[in-house]
Structure 1
Amino acid sequence: MPSRPEPKLISGNANMPLAKAIARRMSMHRGTNVGLCDTRVERFNDGEIFVEVYENVRGEDMFIIQPTSNPANDNLMELLIMADALRRSSAQRITAVIPYFGYARQDRRSRARTPISAKLVANMIVEAGIERVLTMDLHAAQIQGFFDIPVDNLYASPVFALDIMKQFKGAMSDIMIVSPDVGGVARARELAKRINAPLAIVDKRREKPGEVAEMTVIGDVKGKKCLIVDDMVDTAGTLCKAAEVLMDNGASEVHSYITHGVMSGPAVERVTKSVMKSLVITDTIEPRTSVAEASNIRIVPTAPVFAQAILNIWNGTSVSSLFDTETLGPIYEGLYAAE
């Protein structure tokens, strides 16, 4: 009877530190060295991407680690070309580990004559030969239905719950979870349930993309330590404005827990000068130096949960078990160990 192939990791250039951290965590779990495949991913002078895999991958269970963050088009093409290289090299199964799924904000037709780019990207991923997708906190849950292959969508909220319980130990009764808009209420409510905290909403009205005309707080935040919860922070304009509105409504402190730190344009400057005491993001997108060095920005790791999810997929066991804070506790032991 043929033995099951070992899981093999391969990474593009989008977030090499995360890929190496996932490999280290998998090595710890398995008690054997799990490294990244020896691969060349480079560009010709005209910008074309070239991939060459130096290891034999025939019959192997391959996991490509590649968030499609900025530059989104280059990182997406790297993912597709790596998948094509593996498929043509007779890999048994190809799973795309996309910690941050680019183009996710274009998940519907907002106006006439506009694309649904998230669906187009899903089609390209499937056509490239990828047979499964593992991601985290999709901007819209319905994007899973854009694929005709299995999609495992992990959540950052169990990790955030562990962090909150450690950072605000002894003051949990003062915590108020805040959704920065009506569309994010489900995400914020899910975290609020985990830590048994009340929920408030910041209702915003946009005049045009990137600008917020008016904000209203729904809920009593007076004297509360408000934690704004969202899936991504881009230019941070809306986030910083929401923090100001919460403080104006009597909040004692404002912190933010955001999964994907896109942090483009003036985001870092805005956050450092804002009334927020801290912004907590994950490393699904490789942080720029300015982000990593910002005094009030903190980065929590996702390698432990991604490493365990990859092993569960390889083993054919449950990925949804990682949605529980109790399950993640031992995985993050050392970072959030009980005191």
Structure 2
Amino acid sequence: MSKAEDAQPLGGPAPKRQRSPPQGFNPTKYVVLSYKTLDTFARRLEAADPERFSVYETKWGKFDDSGMDNIVMGGFSPVNVVMRSHVLFLADFNSNDAILSQLHVLVMLCESFIATLTIYLPYLPTATMERITVEGEVATANTVCRILSGLPHTGGPSRIMFYDLHTLQNRFYLHTGAIATMHTTIPLIKEVLARKGSPIEAIAFPDEGAQKRFGSLFAEYDVVTCGKKRVGNERNVVIQDGDCQGKHVLIIDDMVKTGGTLVECAKALMLHGASAVSAYCAHAAFPHGAEYRFCKGGDRAVFSTFFVTNSNTTVVERILALPKEETLFEVLDILPLVINDL
């Protein structure tokens, strides 16, 4: 069985590992609604704790003549269970079309006399566009957050759950109608490191930013920090601090797209004597099938294991569909964290 198949984060059984709630803790009960790509995740959430989560299916259709949204929300008929309830909406902003469809729903929910609205949005694809470098360029992270901030009040602001947000200042783009709560997937990779026989001996970061953000969470490991240094007209990845000689090193970062910097970091570590290199990224973006480049035989297959979470459902489905004899990926399930972080 492949590493990706073994994890089974999308369609596998409900997770068993959860922290014990503090004595006297009375967890909020949620009506759970989801975008279509997260329907399976929603059902797994309900299976994990049916007393706390009740899922209602939404029909995400389009009108044949115009192609415009024709959405029918679950939980309103034949009995309205949404009114006065705490609503958890599982969001997936994987495309412009998906974002607009879900904004229609979020506005409607806020105007449906609900008690509170919590939006699970672990991966924000626009987060890398938090600022502009050329006049006229649009900082889409700012505009998306402004739109979310404009949601109608439900008596208080909506809660947006982010995980390992690529640029932490994005949270401050939210205001008035929506406030972010910040969470991390690092406990998932720490569970991997705690496995009996784990080969990882050192932790590396691709730049000082990642080291400042995550370094304190790995105080028990030797830490190596990489960075880019200009050599002539080129900027090459070099080791700025730490020793990787003879060690299996795990590179930690928040997100991977094409993975060029990660690969250059791995090559620098190997050049300085690392025995092997693995990688962990909270969010797998992988545009245009870039995940294939990290499979066995691919031009970027430099990692012993590439760990990612199932925060970005669309891409993870592609990863799980990779032939088991080719994959170097292991997908870690974010669902137990979500249950605890709620």
Q: Which residue of 2 aligns with 1:299?
A: 331
Aligned to 1:263: 286
Q: What RMSD over aligned residues (CA atoms) do the two structures have, in Å?
A: 2.4
Alpha carbons of structure 1 residues 47 and 18: separation in structure 2 relative to 1, 3 Å: same
Equivalent in the alignment of 1:230: 253
Paired amino acid for 1:63: L
Q: Is contact 1:60–1:92 with CA below 8 Å preserved after alignment?
A: yes
User: Structure 1's 164 and 110: CA in aligned 2 closer, same or farther, altered over 3 A?
Assistant: farther
Instruction: Decide which of 208, 217, 223 is 2:239's aligned counterpart.
Output: 217
Moved more, 120-129 or 109-118: 109-118
Residues 247 and 12 (structure 1), Cα distance of their counterparts in 2 relative to 1, 3 Å cut: same
Name the structure 1 match of 2:162.
135
1:68 aligns with 2:93: yes
Q: 2:184 aligns with which of 155, 161, 170?
A: 155
The answer as to whether partners of 2:149 and 2:174 remain within 8 angstroms in 1 is yes
2:311 to 280, 284, 287: 284
Could you give the per-residue CA deviations for residues 29-79 of structure 1, whole angstroms, max 9, x where no partner exists? xxx37332132112234442232124221111111101323xx21222232
One-letter amino acid of the structure 2 residue matched with residue 176 of structure 1: A
Alpha-carbon separation, structure 1, partners of 2:251 and 2:264: 12
Question: Cα deviation per residue 1:288-327 (whole Å; 9 max; x = unaligned)?
Answer: 55411352100000111112222xxxxxxxxxxxxxxxxx
Partner of residue 200, structure 1: 224
Give the TM-score, by structure 2 length: 0.78
| Offset, 1:12 | 0.5
Counterpart secondary structure, 1:260: strand
1:178 maps onto 2:204 in alignment: yes
Instruction: Quote the Cα distance in structure 2 between the aligned partners of 1:256 and 1:109.
Output: 29
Give secondary structure in 1 for the equivalent of 2:125: coil
Higher mean C-alpha displacement, 147-156 vs 278-287: 147-156
Whether contact under 8 Å (1:237, 1:267) holds in the other structure is: no
Q: Please, which runs of 5 or more residues in structure 2 have no aligned partner?
A: 1-26
Structure 1 residue corresponding to 2:120, chosen from 86, 92, 97:
97
Matching residue within 44, 51, 57 for 2:71: 51
Deviation of 1:271 after TM superposition, in Å, equals 1.0
Q: Name the structure 2 match of 1:38.
A: 57
Contact 2:83 / 2:113 at 8 angstroms: preserved in 1?
yes
Equivalent-residue separation in structure 2 for 1:112 and 1:164 (angstroms): 45
Q: Which moved more, 1:121-130 or 1:274-283?
A: 121-130
SS in 1 for 2:291: helix
- Deviation by residue 1:202-252 (Cα, 9 ceiling, x = unmatched): 212699xxxx84111123211111111011111122222322221122101
Secondary structure of 1:77's aligned partner = helix
2:172 to 140, 145, 159: 145
Secondary structure of the 1:62 match is strand
Q: Is the 8 A contact 1:221 1:250 kept in 2?
A: yes
Change (3 A) 1:111 1:270: same
Cα–Cα, structure 1 residues 235 and 85, in superposed 2: closer, same or farther, change >3 Å? same
1:240 matched residue in structure 2: 263
C-alpha separation in 2, matches of 1:226 and 1:103:
30
Residues 190 and 47 of structure 1: CA distance in aligned 2, closer, same or farther (over 3 Å): farther
Native 8 Å contact 1:223 1:252 kept in 2: yes
1:127-149 superposed Cα distances (whole Å, 9 cap, x missing partner) = 13361111211011111111113
| SS in structure 2 at match of 1:142 | helix
- Asked if 2 retains the 8 angstrom alpha-carbon contact of 1:105 and 1:140, the reply is yes
Distance 1:191 1:18 in 2: 28
| Separation (CA, whole Å) in 2 of partners of 1:303 and 1:160 | 14
Deviation at 1:168, TM superposition (A): 4.6
Q: Residue type matched to 1:186 in 2?
A: K
Matched residue, 1:328: none
User: Aligned letter for 1:61?
Assistant: H
What is the rounded CA distance, in whole Å, between the counterparts of 2:258 and 2:43 in structure 1? Answer: 28
The answer to whether the 8 Å contact 1:240/1:270 transfers is no
Displacement after TM superposition at 1:277 (Å): 0.4
Give 1:98 deviation, angstroms: 0.4
Query: What SS class does the counterpart of residue 237 from structure 2 fall into?
Result: strand
Q: Whose helix fraction is larger, Structure 1's or Structure 2's?
A: 1
Distance 1:23 1:78 in 2: 24
Structure 2 counterpart of 1:123: 146
Distance 1:190-1:18 versus aligned 2 partners, 3 A rule? farther
Q: From the superposition, tell whether residues 116 and 240 of structure 1 become closer, same or farther in structure 2 (CA, over 3 Å).
A: same
Q: Distance in 2 between matches of 1:206 and 1:267?
A: 27
Q: Which runs of 5+ in 1 are unaligned?
A: 311-339
Which residue of 2 is the match for residue 319 of structure 1?
none
Aligned mates of 1:297, 1:115 — CA distance in 2: 34
